[in-house]
Amino acid sequence: MKPGAAAAGGDAAAGLISSPNWITSRLDDLVNWSRANSLWPMPFFPACCAIEFMATAASRYDISRFGMERLGYTPRQADVLICAGRVPFKLAPMLRRIWDQMPQPKWCISVGACASSGGIFDTYAMVQGIDAIIPVDVYIPGCPPRPEGILYGIMLLQKKIKGESILDPTLRVEQLPDERGMFLRPAAVDEQSEPFGNSVHQTRSA
Amino acid sequence: MNGASPNPSAAALQARFGAAIVGVSVSCGDTIVVVARERAHEILRWLKETPGEAYDYLVDVTAVEYRDRERPLEVVYQLWSLPRRVFLRLKVELPKQEPLAVDSVVDLWRGADWLEREVYDMFGVAFRGHPDLRRILMWDGYAEGHPLRKDFPLRGRFSRAEQVRQALTKTPEAHHSVEELAVAEAFQQLSDDARQKFERAGGAGGA
């Protein structure tokens, strides 16, 4: 962006250029700048990481500095789904329904270890990472992540948005699940939830 | 007897029901009475309705399965007498070779409804005479079994991909229907303004 600089007199064209009322920019920059700085989050808070997000939204860390202070529990009026907490299988269809209701352009932030990978809940009841349910743009690690971590995740998402182009037709295409109702191949879902950590000694057949 | 003296209700039960009282023990100051499965409902009714006992509050119904495969599964009733301020724990042993079933106590304590549904969901114990014996924590149609049984693998029986696929085939409405929330049944008991609000919204009023 180049704001019109004051010129020391001259002809009509020079007068136009020197006016402070116009700028030159790429349209992508303008659109992305607007989108990145007016993200409307849809809070999906099934568990304790939500407490850290509340701290992030409150005055000390002040999420409104990023144009995100409107936390609306209305997926149809939201840009970014923030999932903070473990998602049990029983809740999976609700998460998918909320994601489906959000209009394009939309993004998703997965806050914390459980939303990103199942965390310590490597059990029969828990989704091992919400990317098996909906596409995720930014994963924030931590159990729970501190507000600084959540803010860093938001800034990473802004950085990602600022790299998009409105001429790229693939970006805004709604990603549809396959005939099984899934985004990932079954083998990928199985592979990314391979056991590790505390429960490594228990096999599926035990 | 573990040193401490048992709750006097245990002796009263033995005098009243004789052989139906399988065992009495004391653990950490709490009296545990093991009763015969066939007479459990009768004994619980007696404990609730006899004036000197008056165990009128059913704190919890749960179940225990031990790692020893020979030991029977136990259904545990935790009772509390509000007027007398006394605890009593009753157990019913269910041998695993037979179908796991015991009489429901929902007719004695309305609050046993969801507790027995939970035991059914997690352990597969059928409560005979329960008005609405469905799963309560896992969703209807959950096909992997009863998760708190010892033979149930921690991660479930199906692959992760299959679990995700099955979960996503459920519609959210299937979990929380109007009928389940009993809004339709309670509609006539609502205040006038609340009823009008529902009618304006086109909600349960038509039902």
pLDDT in tens, B27-38: 888 899 999 999
Summarize pLDDT for A159-192 with one digit per residue, the tens. Answer: 999 888 888 877 778 878 888 878 888 888 888 7
**ipTM value > 0.85:** no
Name chain A contacts of B172, Cβ cutoff 8 Å: 93-94, 97
Question: What's the total number of domains in chain B?
Answer: 1
In a domain, B162, yes or no: no
Summarize pLDDT for B146-200 with one digit per residue, the tens. Answer: 999 988 888 888 888 888 888 888 776 655 555 555 656 667 677 777 777 777 7
- B136: nearest CA in chain A? A90
User: Which member of A92, A124, A132 has the closest CB to residue B154?
Assistant: A124
SS3 A18: coil
* B98 — pLDDT class (breaks 50, 70, 90): confident
Q: Among A88-92, A197-201, B139-143, which stretch is predicted with the lowest mean pLDDT?
A: A197-201
Do the chains contact at A190 and B171, CB–CB below 8 Å? no
Name chain B contacts of A176, Cβ cutoff 8 Å: none
Residue B139 has pLDDT above 60, yes or no: yes
Name chain B contacts of A75, Cβ cutoff 8 Å: none
Rounded percentage of chain B residues whose pLDDT exceeds 90: 41
pTM metric for this prediction: 0.78
In a domain, B123, yes or no: yes
Domain A40-165+180-193 belongs to what topology? Rossmann fold (3.40.50)
What's residue B155's pLDDT? 83
What residue type is B58 in one-letter code? L
User: Which member of B154, B159, B170 has the closest CB to residue A93?
Assistant: B170
What's residue A13's pLDDT? 63
The helix or strand, by DSSP H or E, that contains position B14, with its residue range, turns out to be helix B8-17
In a domain, B10, yes or no: yes
In a domain, B88, yes or no: yes
Buried-state track A21-58, b at ≥16 Cβ within 10 A, e below 16:
eeeeeeeeeebbeebbeebbbbbbbbbebbebbebbbe
* A7 — pLDDT class (breaks 50, 70, 90): very low
- Residue A130 makes CB contacts below 8 A (sequence gap 6+) with A83, A87, A95, A108, A110, A115, A116, A136
Q: Which domain holds residue B115?
A: 1-137
CB within 8 Å of chain B, chain A residues 94-123: 94, 96-97, 122-123
- Residue A53 makes CB contacts below 8 A (sequence gap 6+) with A43, A45, A82, A84, A111, A150
* A110 — pLDDT class (breaks 50, 70, 90): very high
The domain that holds B98 is classified in CATH as: 3.30.460.80
Q: Touching check for A195 and chain B: CB below 8 Å?
A: yes
- A131: nearest CA in chain B? B164
